[in-house]
Amino acid sequence: MSILHGVLHLFTAFCTPRPAPPIDFLWRSLAEDARNIAIGVISSGMGSDGTMGLRASRKRRGLCWCRRLPRQFDSMSKSAIAAGLADLIAPAEDLPGKIIDYLKHNLVITKNRSPVR
C-alpha cells in the first residue's frame, strides 16, 4: 500500500530478499504526501514495523498516536513509544474521538489564521 496525491494505492505483493515492512512503507509514503497533516495511529501489531515510517512522518511534523495497553500484538506500540514517537497514548475506545476533536480544532485554527506573508 502507498499514498500518492491523497489516494491509497494497493500493489500486488512481490518477493524480495528483504521486503520492506508494510506499515513502514505505507507511513513513509503518507509522510511524503501529507507531511504535517499526517496522523499515524498504532492500534496493534507485531515487531517494530511502523517505527521507521513514523520517524519519516515526524520529520515532516506529522503526528503519531498509540493505543494504550493493547491486549495482543503490542510490540508495534511499544516500539513507537520506546522510540519517543508517540504524541498521544490513549485507550483504543478514546482514539476516534480524540482524532475528531483534533481535526475540528485544527480546522478552526486554520480558518482563523491570517495568511503568512
The type of residue at 52 is M
Q: Where are the alpha helices (DSSP H) in the chain?
A: 22-34, 51-59, 75-82, 95-112
Neighbours of 9 (CB within 10 A): 11
* Residue ranges covered by each domain of the chain: 2-10+19-112
Q: Please list the pLDDT of the chain residue by residue as tens digits (117 residues).
A: 888 888 888 877 666 666 667 888 888 998 999 888 888 888 777 778 788 888 898 899 888 888 876 566 778 888 888 888 888 888 889 989 988 988 888 755 444 444 333
Q: How far apart (Å, rounded) are the C-alpha atoms in residues 40 and 77?
A: 11
pLDDT at 110: 47
Spatial CB neighbours of 95, under 8 Å, sequence gap ≥ 6: 41, 43, 65, 67
| Fold adopted by 2-10+19-112 | Rossmann fold (3.40.50)
